[in-house]
Amino acid sequence: MDDRGRKERAPIDRMRAEALLFPMAAFLCAGGWSKKDAEQSFSRAFENSLVKEGARQLKHIGDPTPYADIIALWMRDRRFLDRSGRPRPLRVQGRVSFTTLVREASPKIDPQAALSVLTHFRNVRRVGTGKYKLVIPFFLTCSAKSLAFEPMAYFLSDASATLERILRRKEQSRSADLFWRKAENSDLSDAGAKQFLAFSKERTLVFVNEIDEWLEAHRRRRIPATKRYQRRRVGLGVFSIFSSPEPLDPRKLRTRRAK
């Protein structure tokens, strides 16, 4: 891809890139690194990122919001639910179809393009009757061979922006009090780690759906045409932790045995 194509498809401009790097720069500075050392390390990391053997490919999908909106409407709107209240399979065309769903949720996106992205990332699959079934109740952005670029870029940007605002926050600040929470343990077996990831994925899905419903219930429905306002993104991002094995300190092992 040439530079022009890269600029058209990448959602990261200079301001967003600097915001993304700020927490890392602050971390390195506090750790005693010089600007020269940081630049050299970033250069090596950048070169390593160009090596893509065996790695998932990044797939550009544009703004990820429409895909999440399509799935959310499919989960809520009675027209697209069966008698038990679950999303029912939809034909591509028709009075109540996938095309109807897309035009209702996000009129600016092409239904065929939306279907291509959702099937690629296994959110939707075709069933034998020529219909398409929703199999994941949230927008999954990772497949066996590829990863959607824009959602990952936005997630990293949001995480960095949260850290930056926490670092820059003054004691008398009137802005919202952002937070960063984490729960972890380093004493699980491999089987225990897999069980935890399965458990946390299930529980997180319930929690995130509750958050999504709250946001939907509290969003502004009508904005006077004469009133100018700026949109502010508010939400919650969750990620899993699964590090590479680290050698155990023998001193800590003896302490545990003593207890």
User: What residues pair up with 126 in beta bridges, in sequence order?
Assistant: 132
List alpha helices for the chain, DSSP H.
3-9, 14-30, 35-49, 65-76, 98-105, 111-120, 149-168, 190-218, 250-258
Assess if residue 226 is contained within a domain: no
| CATH number of the domain where residue 72 is located | 1.10.10
Assess if residue 26 is contained within a domain: no
Assess if residue 170 is contained within a domain: no
Assess if residue 82 is contained within a domain: yes
Give the three-state DSSP class for 148.
Answer: strand
Is the pLDDT confidence value at 243 over 90?
A: no
Is the pLDDT confidence value at 21 over 70?
A: yes
pLDDT confidence of residue 256: 52
Over residues 230-254, mean pLDDT: 75
Q: How many CB atoms are closer than 10 A to CB 17?
A: 14
pTM confidence score: 0.72
The answer to whether residues 191 and 54 touch, using CB atoms and an 8 Å cutoff, is no
At residue 243's C-alpha, the angle toward residues 165 and 43, to 5°, is 60
Q: Band the pLDDT of 2: cuts 50, 70, 90.
A: very low
Residue appearing with tokens 């429409």 = 66
Q: Band the pLDDT of 17: cuts 50, 70, 90.
A: confident
pLDDT confidence of residue 34: 94
Range in 9-23, 167-181, 244-258 with the lowest mean pLDDT = 244-258
Spatial distance between the Cα atoms of 104 and 54, rounded to a whole number of angstroms: 39
Comparison of pLDDT for 171 and 2, the residue scoring more: 171
Q: Band the pLDDT of 191: cuts 50, 70, 90.
A: very high
Spatial distance between the Cα atoms of 147 and 155, rounded to a whole number of angstroms: 13
* Domain end marker among 119, 134, 149: 134
Contacts of 127 (CB under 8 A, 6+ apart): 89, 133
Give the three-state DSSP class for 79.
Answer: helix
The answer to whether residues 175 and 87 touch, using CB atoms and an 8 Å cutoff, is no
Assess if residue 130 is contained within a domain: yes
Over residues 97-103, mean pLDDT: 96
Most confident of 82-96, 145-159, 222-236: 82-96
Is the pLDDT confidence value at 5 over 50?
A: no
pLDDT confidence of residue 8: 45
Over residues 160-170, mean pLDDT: 83
Assess if residue 159 is contained within a domain: no
- Return the amino acid letter for 136: I
Over residues 217-231, mean pLDDT: 69
Could you give phi then psi for residue 98, rounded to 5 degrees?
-65, -40
pLDDT confidence of residue 144: 85
**Domain extent at residue 112:** 65-134
Domain count across the chain: 2
Assess if residue 105 is contained within a domain: yes
Q: For the packed helices 65-76 and 98-105, what is the interaxial angle rounded to 10 degrees? A: 120
Over residues 93-98, mean pLDDT: 93
- The three state secondary structure string of 169-201 is CCCCCCCCCCCCCCCCCCCCCHHHHHHHHHHHH
At residue 106's C-alpha, the angle toward residues 100 and 111, to 5°, is 55
Assess if residue 119 is contained within a domain: yes
